[in-house]
Structure 1
Amino acid sequence: MLIFVFVKRKILFKMKKLTALKILGLVIGCAAKFTTGSLFVFSVYQDALKDTFNYTQKEVELLSSMLNFGLGVGFLPGMFYDHFGPQWTSVVGLFVSVSSYLLIWSSTKAVSFYSSKAWLMSIYFFICGLGSIFTYMVALNTNIINFDKKDTGKIVGLLNAFFAGSPSVFAALYYHVFSHGDTTDVSNQDFPGFMLLFAISFAIVDILSILFVKIYKDESQPFVRFVNVEDDISNTNEIVTSSNSGGSHEIFCFARRNGRQSIIGDINGDSNTDNVTITNNDAERHMSVKEILLNADYEILIWTISFASVIGLVYTNNITVISGSLHLDKYNDRLTLIIPITNAVVSFLVGIISDYFKDRFPRMWILILGCTCYTASQILVFFLAGTLDFLVISAVLVGFGTAIVWSMSPTIMKEMFYVGNLGRNWGIALLVASLLGFGIQEAFGAFYDDKISPGGDGVHCYGMKCIRGGTLICLACGSVSIALGIFMQLRKKCCNR
Structure 2
Amino acid sequence: ATASQPEWTWRRVALLFLGTWLAICGGTLYAFPSFEVELMKLCQLSARKLDAVYAAGQLGAGVGIIPGAIYDHRGPVATSLYGLVLTVLGNLGLAWALREESCGGVYILAFSYWMLQNGSVALYQVGLFSNMRAASATSQGMVTGIVCSGFGLSAAFWTLLYADVFGENLDRYFKGTAIVFGATAAFAAVALPRLLTREPGVKPYGRLDEDGSESPAASSPDTVTYGRQVASSSQSKAPCCDQLSDQPASSPSLRQILCNLDLWLFLAVFCLLQGVGSGLFIANLSLIATSLEIPASSRLRYVRLVSYCNFGGRLVTGFLMDFWEPRGVQRSDHLLWTSSGLILISGGLFLAPEAALPHVLLPALLVIAFCYGSNWAIMPSFLESRFHGAHVGVTFNLNTGGLGLAVLGVSYVVGSLHDAAATLQSPAAGSPSLPDESGFCLGASCWRNAFQLGGLAAILGLAGALALSCSESSRQRRSSLKAGSSY
Q: Which amino acid aligns with 1:218?
A: E
Q: Which amino acid aligns with 2:137?
A: K
1:398 equivalent in structure 2 = 368
1:230 equivalent in structure 2 = none
- Tell me the secondary structure at the aligned position of residue 99 of structure 2: coil
Q: CA 1:475 to 1:165, structure 2 compared with 1: closer, same or farther past 3 Å?
A: same
1:164 equivalent in structure 2 = 152
1:350 equivalent in structure 2 = 317
1:491 equivalent in structure 2 = 471
* Equivalenced residues, count: 430
For the pair 1:430 / 2:400, whether they are aligned, the reply is yes
Q: CA 1:354 to 1:406, structure 2 compared with 1: closer, same or farther past 3 Å?
A: same
For the pair 1:461 / 2:428, whether they are aligned, the reply is no
For the pair 1:201 / 2:180, whether they are aligned, the reply is yes
CA contact (8 A) 2:103 2:109 kept: no
Contiguous gaps of at least 5 residues in structure 2: 206-221, 223-233, 428-434, 479-487
**Using the alignment, how far apart are the partners of 1:359 and 1:48 within structure 2?**
49
User: TM-score normalised to the size of structure 2?
Assistant: 0.82
Q: Which amino acid aligns with 2:140?
A: T
**Using the alignment, how far apart are the partners of 1:90 and 1:257 within structure 2?**
35
For the pair 1:217 / 2:198, whether they are aligned, the reply is yes
* Cα shift at 1:49: 0.8
Match of 2:410 among 440, 457, 460: 440
Q: Residues 121-163 of structure 1: CA distance to partner in whole angstroms, max 9, x if unpaired? A: 1111111111112111101111000110220110011112221
2:307 equivalent in structure 1 = 340
Q: CA 1:280 to 1:205, structure 2 compared with 1: closer, same or farther past 3 Å?
A: farther
Match of 2:71 among 77, 81, 96: 81
CA contact (8 A) 1:370 1:405 kept: yes
**Using the alignment, how far apart are the partners of 2:259 and 2:239 within structure 1?**
17
Q: CA 1:256 to 1:428, structure 2 compared with 1: closer, same or farther past 3 Å?
A: closer
1:383 equivalent in structure 2 = 351
Q: Which amino acid aligns with 2:333?
A: W
**Using the alignment, how far apart are the partners of 1:106 and 1:487 within structure 2?**
48
Match of 1:414 among 377, 384, 388: 384
Match of 2:128 among 134, 140, 152: 140
Q: CA 1:219 to 1:47, structure 2 compared with 1: closer, same or farther past 3 Å?
A: same
Q: Which amino acid aligns with 2:12?
A: K
Match of 1:49 among 39, 43, 59: 39
CA contact (8 A) 1:29 1:140 kept: yes
- Tell me the secondary structure at the aligned position of residue 127 of structure 1: helix
Q: CA 1:341 to 1:282, structure 2 compared with 1: closer, same or farther past 3 Å?
A: same
CA contact (8 A) 1:308 1:481 kept: yes
* Cα shift at 1:403: 2.3
Q: Which amino acid aligns with 1:299?
A: W
Q: CA 1:105 to 1:474, structure 2 compared with 1: closer, same or farther past 3 Å?
A: same
CA contact (8 A) 1:52 1:111 kept: no
1:328 equivalent in structure 2 = 294
Match of 1:482 among 429, 441, 462: 462
**Using the alignment, how far apart are the partners of 1:52 and 1:74 within structure 2?**
30
Q: CA 1:18 to 1:209, structure 2 compared with 1: closer, same or farther past 3 Å?
A: farther
Q: Residues 345-365 of structure 1: CA distance to partner in whole angstroms, max 9, x if unpaired? A: 332222222212212122222
Match of 2:267 among 278, 295, 302: 302
1:451 equivalent in structure 2 = 421
Q: Which amino acid aligns with 1:377?
A: I
Q: CA 1:493 to 1:216, structure 2 compared with 1: closer, same or farther past 3 Å?
A: same
Q: CA 1:109 to 1:369, structure 2 compared with 1: closer, same or farther past 3 Å?
A: same
CA contact (8 A) 1:283 1:414 kept: no
Q: Which structure has the larger Rg?
A: 1
Q: Which amino acid aligns with 2:198?
A: K
Q: CA 1:494 to 1:286, structure 2 compared with 1: closer, same or farther past 3 Å?
A: closer
Contiguous gaps of at least 5 residues in structure 1: 1-10, 180-188, 225-241, 243-252, 263-278
**Using the alignment, how far apart are the partners of 2:372 and 2:263 within structure 1?**
20
**Using the alignment, how far apart are the partners of 2:203 and 2:414 within structure 1?**
52
Q: Which amino acid aligns with 1:304?
A: V
**Using the alignment, how far apart are the partners of 1:482 and 1:152 within structure 2?**
25
2:226 equivalent in structure 1 = none
**Using the alignment, how far apart are the partners of 2:198 and 2:161 within structure 1?**
39
- Tell me the secondary structure at the aligned position of residue 284 of structure 2: helix
**Using the alignment, how far apart are the partners of 1:343 and 1:285 within structure 2?**
32
- Tell me the secondary structure at the aligned position of residue 54 of structure 1: coil
Cα root mean square deviation, aligned: 2.7
CA contact (8 A) 2:335 2:462 kept: no
* Cα shift at 1:402: 1.6
* Cα shift at 1:337: 2.0
1:60 equivalent in structure 2 = 50
CA contact (8 A) 1:164 1:343 kept: yes
CA contact (8 A) 2:44 2:102 kept: no
- Tell me the secondary structure at the aligned position of residue 280 of structure 1: coil
Q: CA 1:381 to 1:173, structure 2 compared with 1: closer, same or farther past 3 Å?
A: farther
User: TM-score normalised to the size of structure 1?
Assistant: 0.81
Q: CA 1:257 to 1:426, structure 2 compared with 1: closer, same or farther past 3 Å?
A: closer
1:153 equivalent in structure 2 = 141
Q: Residues 374-432 of structure 1: CA distance to partner in whole angstroms, max 9, x if unpaired? A: 22221222222743331122112112202211111110110011423001110011001
**Using the alignment, how far apart are the partners of 2:248 and 2:295 within structure 1?**
49
Q: Which amino acid aligns with 1:321?
A: L
Q: Which amino acid aligns with 1:428?
A: L
Q: Residues 96-122 of structure 1: CA distance to partner in whole angstroms, max 9, x if unpaired? A: 1111101101112223561xx211211
CA contact (8 A) 1:283 1:415 kept: no
CA contact (8 A) 2:309 2:369 kept: yes
Q: Residues 307-361 of structure 1: CA distance to partner in whole angstroms, max 9, x if unpaired? A: 1111221211211110100111332132222211122233222222221221212
* Cα shift at 1:201: 2.1
Match of 2:18 among 28, 38, 55: 28
CA contact (8 A) 2:86 2:118 kept: yes
**Using the alignment, how far apart are the partners of 1:477 and 1:113 within structure 2?**
34
1:249 equivalent in structure 2 = none
Q: Which amino acid aligns with 2:152?
A: A
Q: CA 1:294 to 1:208, structure 2 compared with 1: closer, same or farther past 3 Å?
A: same
What does 1:3-18 correspond to in 2, within 5 Å? none
For the pair 1:313 / 2:278, whether they are aligned, the reply is yes
